[in-house]
Amino acid sequence: MLALLVGAAGLSTSCTDLDETLYDRLNETNIDLSNESDMQSLMGQAIAQYRYFQLSWFGSWELNEQCTDQYCVPYRIGIGWGDLYVNLHKHNWNYNVGHAENVWLYAYKCIGYCNNCLDHLPESQADDRAQMRFFRAMTYYQLLDFFRNIPLLTTMDVPAGYLPEQANAQEVYDFVVSELEAIKEDLGTTKYYAWGNKYVACMALAKLYLNRNVYLDGLASADNTGYEKALAEVNTIITEGGYELSANYSDNFKIDLSTNKEVIFAVPQDKTHASHFGLDCYVFSNTGKQAYGITTNCTNGSAAVPQWIDTYADTDHRLTDTWIGGGWLENGKFHFDTRYANILQSDGYQRAYTTDGGPNSGEPLAFADDDWTGTGKLVYNKEVHSMDNPGAYQQEGYRMVKYEFDPTAGTHATDIVIFRYADVLMIKAECLLRLGRDKETAAALVTEVRKRSFDNLADATRTVADLEGGSVYAYGHRECTDSNCKTFSTWVKTKEGGDDIILGGLLDDLGWEFCGEQHRRQDLICFQMTDGRNVFNGKSWFCKDATTETTWNVFPIPELALNANVKMKQNPGYSGAAEE
């Protein structure tokens, strides 16, 4: 029988190479692992797989974002999309969800390469060994976050036909913590861009400790051990690391982040050799891309969840730093996006004109593919009819523009932040609030992070009461099922609000600061409501409904992995092969 697919053998691996590899065939035959150059190539492949794991189509970024209350990929009327994307939004995916399969495969390819390197690197090469252990630990950390119960393999030196045991969440958690603690000092304190150092390890440990109760108990509990340990880790970064907040929020999402002093750890891309993200393809139509000079083919998929857009304060620049939209009416006032001049005509439709110096600057953008407004002008309307009933028209939904676009790149090639200093400060604030001490310090830290995104200090300031209060998110089902899709006259709406979310104000602040940074899913699972459910399950948004089920806290073990290893069991709540 096939062993569990982990893919770690070939040096010719590409971002679309998911060939099956057997546990008993992982020994390299075409390279000399005693040769330094060949070993460096093998180490490079381990890091390349980590990049694919994060940024490939159906990679970690998409799996983390598409199931949240901020971002979605609806069925586009006249274009397509849908199926898996709709399932992720509605929280009704099954054991065949393609995103989870790709994440699993790339993760185990990375782990396989790391293990192979560690099997052959001598103990005298402590630096190289520490880096391979670091990337392996980072990958296992996310596998724990996604799946909990996974094979824990630490060597490729296994007998023929070997099938690994499935470790439980406690075993995986303990392993990752012990690895990061063991390599902290070997990693050193020097800041080599996109490599691990002591402070990156501290940050990964802080994340693990912060989510300890969720990983081990299912929901946050009264055990404060994790919060104390997370606090200690971020305090080390604050006092020793020398990191600082960037002057401008958008500085953290530039094409090249190698000199950014807020970035603690990032995954670099390169438009020639390592361009995998592809967000521009999701975001724009082939007309909309003109405003940014983008030449790659765009397919007009993703959009903001409308209720999320409504949470931003008018004075918060992170709205227009993160999203582009055609403007919206509030309290009788029309608000403008900084990249567009908009006019609300007497017929009630918006017209959009680019003002950013792009190819069509000052001219209305034609949108011949979708003229349901009768205007022939492109504007991204905030409201979206639905995910799939009947779906979304091509102009519907704000678009994510947080990551800088390079018009000369074949696809989105911006470096992607994994950890940055703002998160260090916010973790400290969260720990203090959860521990119930130094709350004013917590509020001051959140305010410090917010200050660069507001013109006035008064608007940036957050109080303890703000953070401990409810969320401003207008939770509830919000969908238009108008039969002809021309108006928003047929609404399905429920009202749940966010007053019952514990530390709901802090959850809001985390959302505004880290939107689109693989942060939100973890936060929604970590934050609880007063009835004991987490927000991820217990709240409705757009076309996703609240539930008492906890199945969705983790993703299913991919069917291909279950079929390959008879020792593995499916995560509870998912039907299919090897169900537990």
DSSP secondary structure letters along 124-168: T-HHHHHHHHHHHHHHHHHHHHHHSSEE----S---TT----EE-
Give the residue, 487 or 244, on which the prediction is more confident.
244
By C-alpha distance, which of 383, 403, 402 is closest to 393? 383
Using pLDDT thresholds of 50, 70 and 90, give the confidence band for residue 301.
Answer: confident
pLDDT at 220 (0 to 100): 55
**Nearest to 507, CA basis, from 530, 532, 533, 525:** 525
pLDDT band with cut points at 50, 70 and 90 for residue 352:
very low
Model confidence at 373, in pLDDT bands (50, 70, 90)? very low
pLDDT of residue 417: 96
Q: Given phi > 0 = left and psi -120 to 50 = alpha, else beta, which region is 82?
A: left
Token code pair at residue 262? 């807020």
Token pair, residue 129, equals: 């060994």
The answer to whether 436 and 285 have CB atoms below 8 angstroms apart is: no
Give the separation between CA 30 and CA 37, rounded to whole angstroms. Answer: 13
Judge contact between 115 and 153, C-beta under 8 A: yes
- What band does 162 get if pLDDT is binned at 50, 70 and 90? very high
Q: How far apart are CA 414 and CA 412, in angstroms?
A: 6
> What is the rounded distance in angstroms from the CA atom of residue 226 to the CA atom of residue 224?
6
pTM: 0.89
**Percent residues over pLDDT 90 in the chain:** 63
- pLDDT tens per residue, range 63-73: 999 999 999 99
Please report the pLDDT score of residue 102 as a whole number: 92
Confidence of residue 311 (pLDDT cuts 50, 70, 90): very high
Q: What are phi and psi of 269, to 5 degrees?
A: -125, 165
pLDDT score recorded for residue 49: 94
pLDDT, tens only, 255-291:
999 999 999 999 998 776 666 777 888 888 777 777 6
How far apart are the C-alpha atoms of 137 and 267, rounded to whole Å?
16
Q: What is the mean pLDDT of residues 302-323?
A: 94
| CA neighbor of 299 nearest in space, from 311, 317, 315, 287 | 287
- pLDDT, tens digit, 9 for 90 and up, residues 13-53: 333 333 333 333 334 455 666 777 888 889 999 999 999 99
Q: Mean pLDDT, to the nearest integer, of 82-92?
A: 89
pLDDT, position 33 = 67
Among residues 130, 111, 140, 134, the alpha carbon closest in space to that of 208 is found at 140
CATH architecture observed for domain 188-249+259-266+421-465: Alpha Horseshoe (1.25)
Determine the pLDDT at residue 187.
Answer: 97
Residues facing 266 on adjacent strands: 417
In 174-243, DSSP assigns E strands to: none
**Which pLDDT band, with edges at 50, 70 and 90, does 451 fall under?**
very high
Q: Give the model's confidence band at 155: pLDDT under 50 very low, under 70 low, under 90 confident, else very high.
A: very high
Q: What is the overall mean pLDDT for the chain?
A: 84
Say if residue 308's pLDDT is above 50: yes
The structural domains of the chain, with segments of one domain joined by +, span: 1-69+84-168+562-580, 188-249+259-266+421-465, 269-414, 469-548
pLDDT tens-digit map of 500-513: 999 999 999 999 99
The larger pLDDT score, comparing residue 352 to residue 576, is at 576
Q: What is the pLDDT of residue 517?
A: 97
Q: Residue 372: is it exposed, middle or buried by C-beta count within 10 angstroms (0-12/13-18/19+)?
A: middle
In which region does residue 148 sit, left (phi positive, over 0), alpha (psi from -120 to 50) or beta (all else)?
left
CA distance linking residue 125 with residue 129, whole number of Å: 6
Name the more confident of 217 and 140.
140
pLDDT at 487 over 80: no
In this structure, CATH architecture of domain 1-69+84-168+562-580: Alpha Horseshoe (1.25)
Tell me the pLDDT band of 380, cut-offs 50, 70 and 90: confident
Lowest mean pLDDT among 392-396, 486-490, 543-547: 486-490
Span 129-142, average pLDDT: 98
Window from 34-38, 377-381, 524-528 with minimum mean pLDDT: 377-381
Cis peptide bond N-terminal to 268, omega within 30: no
Neighbours of 272 (CB within 10 A): 10
CA angle 295, 301, 306 (to 5 degrees): 125
- pLDDT above 90 (res 165): yes
Q: What pLDDT score does 281 carry?
A: 84
Tokens of 369: 């593919």
State residue 299's pLDDT score: 85
What is the per-residue pLDDT for 272?
A: 65
Q: How confident is the model over 191-207, as a mean pLDDT?
A: 97
